[in-house]
Structure 1
């Protein structure tokens, strides 16, 4: 809507109280909208992207399995063993494509994870102790109990080192399953499980850094420490441009890679250290002034200055996440699935997996371990008064979400690559695939059944008689 300004005839644009897009074939009309003010735009956008990523990752996983078990399986192995690199004088870096995906491209994925953790700690769900107590303690239970169950199957063997494989929930698949098969009005449940998955990621990343690192080269690690100090200095100085952070981030990746610590941790550190707090109010108030100057004189210089003013008004972490998250969700994670999910499923491999304590331990730990650990620890938090379930989320929803959290795919495959070699690695991957599939099916059935009995909508909220399904459903309920 527009009104006449007090000192000019030029219309002054006022914010629409409900700026969502008009009704369309995939969006309920105004009378059918369900208002959920507790889910802000940034979180909703994150959930939408993760939901779409789940479909891309699923397609890549199926393609990898079909390719690895086809007559052209040799081409699959040859592709990912292809060497690639670059040289600058006498210095260079050569890796095969498999390691470029796992060590370099996945650093971007972990950077996005770090950015999301950064945002949630600064301005999201992780600020409020009572809000995060239940999902945080549930996540700790989901880290500890699966590891203990895995060790019950493999303790005292050479495979015991792989206990970290079962300590992660795949956020993309978790959100995607909720979008496709979850109960009506599940935004509160999504937000709860997203918080749980973020705390879970913090634990899994810590485990990966401490227990799955080879020998450390201290000189390179010292260089990495200096670069981290540089990131902190940029943050302290209030630098809002992304270029200095990106350059230091690339140098940090090279240093961490040379140090022997897994290079993807550089991505996590960059995501955690970027400025994420809201900018000063005067920066925001300057944007309309520059925009008025652009209206008065439409030149390239004024357009550039207006663009810079708008960028300075938005935290660097949020701008970087907007750039990286689609690439991570729709390119990097599916390519990672394509490169790592190509497990041979011939009769011999399946017979070996059916009796392997590694495969059985991984599958049981993912499904039963997460169900018991998350539900049990979260229940303790509720009963002791440390926290409470948000909104109209009920214990039954918690149980269904805990089963669904057994989908440990991306980081589980990642740690399996670090922990195992040869046949044991293949058996662990089969266990990951079997456990994740079972958790997805059981969790979907349980949540859909409970969703009909325990609705998440408040009584005063209007619910569309028939909600759309698919990845867009995250943004329309």
Structure 2
């Protein structure tokens, strides 16, 4: 269809669509959605409508099939259900990075692992300094985590002043950090384990590994088995989100069709369409329609399920699931008294010190030692000063830290209040310090 043949509405939408699509897919947009959800949650929880916010969080949602009843609060459905999809996407990113990303290069991998370990161990130790032997010591995993979306969103403020490779370094660092957080959740934040359910889930994960090896690529097959794994994990005592990561590691990462075969098959299919290009009618002619579908199938077999599913989930997770998680979990009552109480309580002191100081000390120390003893190397154009700024920004631990806090202090409203308030304070401090530092070193 030529441009002249298009109606006014079509031409208008074509002018709007490209910039709108670019805006939606930009990293700053997902960070903006997350920030807006957090602001709305804080306003709502501290407004005259706070009772409606509490009602929303605890709204029961369920299904009934005869005598069978499934019912849970909106908060549980998001934290134990939708967040599994987030962790599944996280697992896909981890697998890709290990196979072909920064974690595939030995020198980069060593540096990222050392820095991430420093950025996890020191915050946990600092938290324990304030909370050792107290009931609140269970929260030691809270300051270990980094919020990748918020961290990258903050970095876009100084993007013109930093090398692009620093963004890739922070993404790799956050991914290793997430691996550590997932292991912490799986090992230390579990309830009483049901061996039967856990064994069943593990057996099905192993079955998916065999299916991958056998060349099975049908999405519906993986979806059905994954739902069963999630249900088993939900009743196993291990948090259900771990199922998302385990399933992601079984997703095929190899194309079913080699590149040379792809080109030959694609040329053959397209050539048959070109020979009758003037008379091709995919609506009226079934043969033409089937030929177009064959071209689509060839392209699909040449791509990898890992990449396709990662691309398909990126927008729903960043624009819907994470903002919804923030809206339901970030609504804490913030006033002068609560701020003072949080800053004075061991939980608040441990989280703020861990995220702001622990990340800084741990990452910079690990990086310096790795460079000093030649255990790893930094990406091109990235120097130690950049790592100092990055270590400050990784103190933004909002999403994952809040998630771990809800696990550690489940049923302890007061302690969870201190933790969430401290996470917000620490994240703001880390964002401001990191941005100012990177701007200062770039100006010099």
Calculate the TM-score normalised by the size of structure 1: 0.83
Assess, with a 3 A threshold, how the Cα gap between structure 1 residues 220 and 49 changes in structure 2: closer, same or farther.
Answer: farther
What does residue 339 of structure 1 align with?
328
RMSD over aligned Cα, in angstroms?
Answer: 1.9
Q: Tell whether 2:267 aligns with 1:288.
A: yes
Assess, with a 3 A threshold, how the Cα gap between structure 1 residues 90 and 382 changes in structure 2: closer, same or farther.
Answer: farther
What does residue 193 of structure 2 align with?
216
User: Could you list the per-position Cα deviations for residues 345-396 of structure 1 after superposition, in whole angstroms to 9, with x for gaps in the alignment?
Assistant: 1343223213111111101110000000001011111111111111010110
Assess, with a 3 A threshold, how the Cα gap between structure 1 residues 185 and 352 changes in structure 2: closer, same or farther.
Answer: closer
Q: Residues 116 and 176 of structure 2 are in contact (CA less than 8 Å); yes or no, is this contact kept in structure 1?
A: yes
Calculate the TM-score normalised by the size of structure 2: 0.89
User: Could you list the per-position Cα deviations for residues 400-450 of structure 1 after superposition, in whole angstroms to 9, with x for gaps in the alignment?
Assistant: 000000000111000000001210000000110000000000000011111
Take 2:221 and 2:261, find their aligned partners in 1: how far apart are those partners? Answer: 20
Q: Residues 159 and 358 of structure 1 are in contact (CA less than 8 Å); yes or no, is this contact kept in structure 2?
A: yes
2:161 alignment partner, SS class: coil
Q: How many residues align?
A: 410
What does residue 440 of structure 1 align with?
431
Take 1:135 and 1:339, find their aligned partners in 2: how far apart are those partners? Answer: 33
Q: Tell whether 2:32 aligns with 1:55.
A: yes
Take 1:355 and 1:122, find their aligned partners in 2: how far apart are those partners? Answer: 45
Take 2:162 and 2:434, find their aligned partners in 1: how far apart are those partners? Answer: 17
Q: Tell whether 2:402 aligns with 1:402.
A: no
Q: Residues 162 and 438 of structure 2 are in contact (CA less than 8 Å); yes or no, is this contact kept in structure 1?
A: no
Take 1:304 and 1:254, find their aligned partners in 2: how far apart are those partners? Answer: 35
Assess, with a 3 A threshold, how the Cα gap between structure 1 residues 94 and 125 changes in structure 2: closer, same or farther.
Answer: same
Q: Residues 182 and 448 of structure 1 are in contact (CA less than 8 Å); yes or no, is this contact kept in structure 2?
A: no
Take 2:55 and 2:148, find their aligned partners in 1: how far apart are those partners? Answer: 30
Q: Tell whether 2:84 aligns with 1:114.
A: no
What does residue 157 of structure 1 align with?
134
Take 2:266 and 2:68, find their aligned partners in 1: how far apart are those partners? Answer: 45
What does residue 383 of structure 1 align with?
372
Take 2:142 and 2:366, find their aligned partners in 1: how far apart are those partners? Answer: 20
Cα offset, 1:49, TM superposition: 4.7
Question: 263-272 vs 329-338, which deviates more?
Answer: 263-272
Q: Residues 183 and 451 of structure 1 are in contact (CA less than 8 Å); yes or no, is this contact kept in structure 2?
A: no
Q: Residues 163 and 381 of structure 2 are in contact (CA less than 8 Å); yes or no, is this contact kept in structure 1?
A: no
Q: Residues 182 and 451 of structure 1 are in contact (CA less than 8 Å); yes or no, is this contact kept in structure 2?
A: no
Take 1:99 and 1:131, find their aligned partners in 2: how far apart are those partners? Answer: 38
User: Could you list the per-position Cα deviations for residues 184-237 of structure 1 after superposition, in whole angstroms to 9, with x for gaps in the alignment?
Assistant: 353100011111111000001000100001011122212212211221122101
What does residue 305 of structure 2 align with?
316
Take 1:444 and 1:141, find their aligned partners in 2: how far apart are those partners? Answer: 21
Q: Residues 130 and 386 of structure 1 are in contact (CA less than 8 Å); yes or no, is this contact kept in structure 2?
A: yes
Which structure has more helix as a fraction of its residues? 2
Q: Residues 256 and 262 of structure 1 are in contact (CA less than 8 Å); yes or no, is this contact kept in structure 2?
A: yes
Q: Tell whether 2:204 aligns with 1:236.
A: no
Q: Residues 102 and 109 of structure 2 are in contact (CA less than 8 Å); yes or no, is this contact kept in structure 1?
A: yes
What does residue 475 of structure 1 align with?
none
What does residue 178 of structure 1 align with?
155
Assess, with a 3 A threshold, how the Cα gap between structure 1 residues 305 and 88 changes in structure 2: closer, same or farther.
Answer: farther
Assess, with a 3 A threshold, how the Cα gap between structure 1 residues 318 and 240 changes in structure 2: closer, same or farther.
Answer: same
What does residue 12 of structure 1 align with?
none
What does residue 362 of structure 1 align with?
351
Q: Residues 153 and 357 of structure 1 are in contact (CA less than 8 Å); yes or no, is this contact kept in structure 2?
A: yes
Question: 444-453 vs 81-90, which deviates more?
Answer: 81-90
What does residue 449 of structure 1 align with?
440
1:273 alignment partner, SS class: coil
Q: Tell whether 2:143 aligns with 1:166.
A: yes
Take 1:98 and 1:50, find their aligned partners in 2: how far apart are those partners? Answer: 26
Q: Tell whether 2:113 aligns with 1:133.
A: no
Take 1:392 and 1:444, find their aligned partners in 2: how far apart are those partners? Answer: 18
Question: 369-378 vs 250-259, which deviates more?
Answer: 250-259
What does residue 430 of structure 1 align with?
421
Assess, with a 3 A threshold, how the Cα gap between structure 1 residues 196 and 135 changes in structure 2: closer, same or farther.
Answer: same
Take 2:208 and 2:28, find their aligned partners in 1: how far apart are those partners? Answer: 32
Q: Residues 209 and 262 of structure 1 are in contact (CA less than 8 Å); yes or no, is this contact kept in structure 2?
A: yes
Take 2:356 and 2:160, find their aligned partners in 1: how far apart are those partners? Answer: 20
Cα offset, 1:303, TM superposition: 2.3
Q: Tell whether 2:181 aligns with 1:204.
A: yes
Unaligned 5+ runs, structure 2: 1-17, 283-287
Q: Tell whether 2:232 aligns with 1:255.
A: yes
Q: Tell whether 2:405 aligns with 1:413.
A: no
Take 1:343 and 1:321, find their aligned partners in 2: how far apart are those partners? Answer: 32
Q: Residues 255 and 301 of structure 2 are in contact (CA less than 8 Å); yes or no, is this contact kept in structure 1?
A: no
Q: Residues 49 and 326 of structure 1 are in contact (CA less than 8 Å); yes or no, is this contact kept in structure 2?
A: no
Assess, with a 3 A threshold, how the Cα gap between structure 1 residues 185 and 357 changes in structure 2: closer, same or farther.
Answer: closer
